[in-house]
Amino acid sequence: MANKVQIPENDLMVETKGKLELFFDKYGNKLLWGVIGIAVAAVVIFLVLNISKSSAQKAEHAAQAALTVALTTEAGVEAYEAIVAEYEGTAAANTASYIAAANLLEAGDIEAAKAMLANYKDAEGTAAEVINGLVYTLRGDIAVEENDLQSAAQFFGKAIAASRDIYTLENNTLKLALVYTAMGDAEKAQQTYKELVARHPELKQKYAKYIAE
């Protein structure tokens, strides 16, 4: 576990931390399930491209089938935990560990979410980068819950670098900027917004108030 950084707080920082908490309380559920929706599509691509023709193929097919059932039936976290336990080492189990961790965090069980996410291994390949990026976001969310803002900033930064669509990019940018603001680093928060607008000029008007000319 990363060491928490203790930063002297002033009134602005305390107020901003409150806003950060409100942001996650208000939008956390929508952002989480939006991200999981993206993950579902990524899972299909990832599994199709990465099922090998080795002796592990049978296990991978079985794991994929179990994951598909869990996803299409809106199964509870127990179903994903079972996939992780039964099909350890498969790509489907790897993805299931992410989804289980996301559900556990949504339920407020931070320690269980961390333990489940510890099963995740960075996947390889272009399609796998989507899942890896989502995991960075989830690790950042966990760090925020633990008030480990320095680690949260690092994870959201990695998630931004891995973002392949405007939705996840904007989502991670907002989180990173809020974390920097809570840390009292307005300059980095502003730069974060500027980098978003640089990649997507169509968002300039939306974030103009956060960027000093």
What is the pLDDT at residue 18? 56
Is residue 4 assigned to a domain? no
Q: How far apart are CA 94 and CA 48, in angstroms?
A: 14
* CATH code (residue 117): 1.25.40
Tens-binned pLDDT, residue by residue, of the chain (213 aa): 444 444 444 444 445 555 565 555 555 544 554 555 555 555 655 555 555 455 567 888 898 899 999 988 888 999 999 999 999 888 889 899 999 999 999 999 999 999 999 988 887 766 677 888 899 999 999 999 999 999 999 999 999 998 878 888 999 999 999 999 999 999 999 999 999 999 999 999 998 988 875
What is the pLDDT at residue 71? 87
State how far the alpha carbon of 89 is from the alpha carbons of 56, 59, 76, 123, in Å: 9, 9, 21, 11
Is residue 157 assigned to a domain? yes
Is residue 7 assigned to a domain? no
Q: How far apart are CA 111 and CA 115, in angstroms?
A: 6
Is residue 1 assigned to a domain? no
The answer for residues whose C-beta is within 8 angstroms of residue 28's C-beta and 6 or more apart is 106, 141
Is residue 138 assigned to a domain? yes
Longest dimension (CA), the chain: 60
Buried b (16+ CB within 10 A) or exposed e, 7-40: eeeeeebeebbeebbeebeeebeebbeebbebbe
Is residue 150 assigned to a domain? yes
Is residue 78 assigned to a domain? yes
For 28, the domain range is 12-210
Is residue 3 assigned to a domain? no
Domain count, the chain: 1
Buried b (16+ CB within 10 A) or exposed e, 97-107: bbbbbbbbbbe
